[in-house]
Amino acid sequence: MLRNLAFATAIAIGIAAAPVFAQDAPAAASAQALQTPVQVVQSIADQLATAIEGHRDELKHNQEKLISVIDEVFLPHFDLDYASILVLGQHAREATPAQRERFAKAFYNSITHRYAEGLLNYTRGRVKVLPFNGDLNDKRTVVRTQVVLDDGKLVSIDYAFRKGRSGDWKAYDVIIEGISYVTNYRNQVDAEIRKVGIEQLITNLETQGEKALATMAKDNKDKP
């Protein structure tokens, strides 16, 4: 299994984002529209290092502040609406707009709280953004990176981006060593919804947070 740092870094750079209603800040959207997907990833990696360096002890004892760092750094760069629909899969059609919004917010909070502490080991240079070979005229593209673990091992992490109507690029999926975040959690969410229903799943995520996420992952892993 990948170490927490690799997964936390991947989730943070490509997945950790704030609820839908917080993504519409005009200034953030304007700044992001000027960046290519590669520039987005590199900028986040640099901002993350700056935010953590010299503040590890403080952030270690103040998780809410650590979460706020994640919000501030990654907030404008993730398409939570689209990613949440992909994770819900076929169940997105069954959910009401209110349920989809609640799911997106609760799922984000669960992911962020579960992996936030892994970012405390992040240092500048951990993420190496590989040369880009895609076509930015397309509506989708992938940015490839490598994350350096403590033992020097390189982990391949790809970020799938989608171009919005305004021309800005936002990430919606992370692929770690060939394993898609969206696909992995879609399977877990599908199994849980079939077991308890979508409303109960959302309630569990809202009330139990990362504990509900961990239980869901364990149940899925234990299946034959």
Angle at 139 between CA 98 and CA 34, to 5 degrees: 90
List the end-to-end C-alpha distance of the chain, in Å, as a whole number. 19
Entry pTM: 0.79
pLDDT of residue 187: 92
CA 1, CA 7: separation in Å to the nearest integer? 10
Per-residue pLDDT of the chain (224 residues; tens, 9 = 90+): 444 556 666 666 654 433 333 334 444 444 444 688 999 888 888 888 888 888 889 998 998 898 888 888 876 788 888 999 999 999 999 999 999 999 999 988 888 888 787 777 777 777 888 888 777 778 899 999 988 877 888 888 899 999 988 888 998 988 888 888 889 899 999 999 999 999 999 999 999 988 988 888 887 776 65
pLDDT of residue 27: 45
Residue pair 210/218 in contact by the 8 Å Cβ criterion: no
pLDDT of residue 193: 96
pLDDT of residue 75: 66
pLDDT of residue 32: 44
pLDDT of residue 14: 53
pLDDT of residue 216: 85
CA 208, CA 196: separation in Å to the nearest integer? 15
pLDDT of residue 21: 31
pLDDT of residue 194: 95
